[in-house]
Homo-oligomer: A and B are copies of this chain.
Amino acid sequence: MDVVVSEVGPRDGLQSLHRTMPTQAKICWIRALAAAGLSEIEVGSFVHPKLLPQMADAETVVRDAVTIPGLSVLALAPNMKGVMRAVQAGAHRITMPVSASHAHSLANIRMTCEEAIEEVERVCAYRDRLPAGQRPEVEIGISTAFGCTIQGVVQEDWVFEMADRLARAGADSIGLSDGVGYANPVQVRRMFKRLRAGLGDKAGGAHFHNTRGQGLANVVAALEAGVTTFDSSQGGIGGCPYSPGATGNIVTEDLVWMLEAMGLDTGIDLDRLAEARHVMAEALPGEPIYGHLPDVGAEKGFRYARRGPAPEGAGRAASAVACPPLPSAAE
């Protein structure tokens, strides 16, 4: 695999919707995504269910997901309490949201930037005391790294100071996140180059939104800077409900097509990805779902980077598929 496409739809996508996807549907969707070849899925968020009722079933979903062979299961947790729940459920990796914007940090996780760094430090110390085999990796995506809807410009030097401190706090990987769709390709190339120069192996992936249509353009720029992990969500779900058309995460389907067309192996099958999209869409009737590839499919002559030619139209929206059987681990 040349590039890891890290699916965040079941977490970032679903938590942005007003409705709650039923637990069985989540499990079915995650299994379908894994069956399509997704090797990393962020499946839920361990926050207080009063704050995010859409994520109240995170334990159940994680417990099922970790039974899927070969799947790396990520869960988001903003603080020690959430991390402990995620560990108990068996998540392989914990993502912690840390903001470079002070205003956003307070609004999002009710901590200053300093407090968030200290929380990561505490979490890493806790993680290090866990028995071998139960120690999750701790991943940070520094959000508002490219700008913030509240404070506007975010100082780049501060972003890299944070990245450095988070690495020293024990985080395994520190990426840059643009959940507000402010980033442009020049900024992306510059900042990821600097991140990799500063952090080496601890430099993490990119989380881009497509708010201004620039999502895949930013991927191209990040690839040039050496980034090899990209978050995306199936159907681009997770857009801001207050801005029609303001799509959220970059669309997994379009991203996978583009990477494979560029000669970069993702390990993902476009037709099975279309099946997973169908599973998701069935569980979210009436919800806007984005993406170009599902409308048109792959072009005539399309070849997967490693797996060779695909039939014309590969990845076009699929018809009904059965949910993969649930293991007994699912509660």
Contact = CB atoms under 8 A, between A and B. Distances in A.
Interface stretch (A26-34, A65-73, A292-300): A292-300
Interface in A254-298: 254, 257-258, 261-263, 291-296
A91 interface: no
A182 B299 CA distance: 6
Contact of A246 (B152, B258, B263, B296): B296
Given A212-B258, A213-B216, A217-B217, A301 B153 contact: yes
A158 to B, nearest CB: 15
Most chain B beta carbons < 10 A, residue from A147, A186, A214, A251:
A214
A257 B212 CA distance: 8
B211 A245 contact: no
**Number of this chain's copies in the complex:** 2
Contacts of A294: 245
B299 A180 contact: yes
Contacts of A210: 292
A174 interface: no
A91 B45 CA distance: 60
Interface string A187-211: 1000000000000000000000011
A181 interface: yes
Contact of A184 (B153, B261, B293): B261
Contacts of A151: 300
Interface in A220-265: 220-221, 224, 243-247, 251, 254, 257-258, 261-263
B295 A246 contact: yes
A221 B293 CA distance: 20
7 contacts: A148-B300, A187-B262, A212-B296, A212-B299, A214-B216, A245-B295, A246-B292
Interface of A: 147-149, 151-153, 180-182, 184-187, 210-214, 216-217, 219-221, 224, 243-247, 251, 254, 257-258, 261-263, 291-296, 299-301, 312
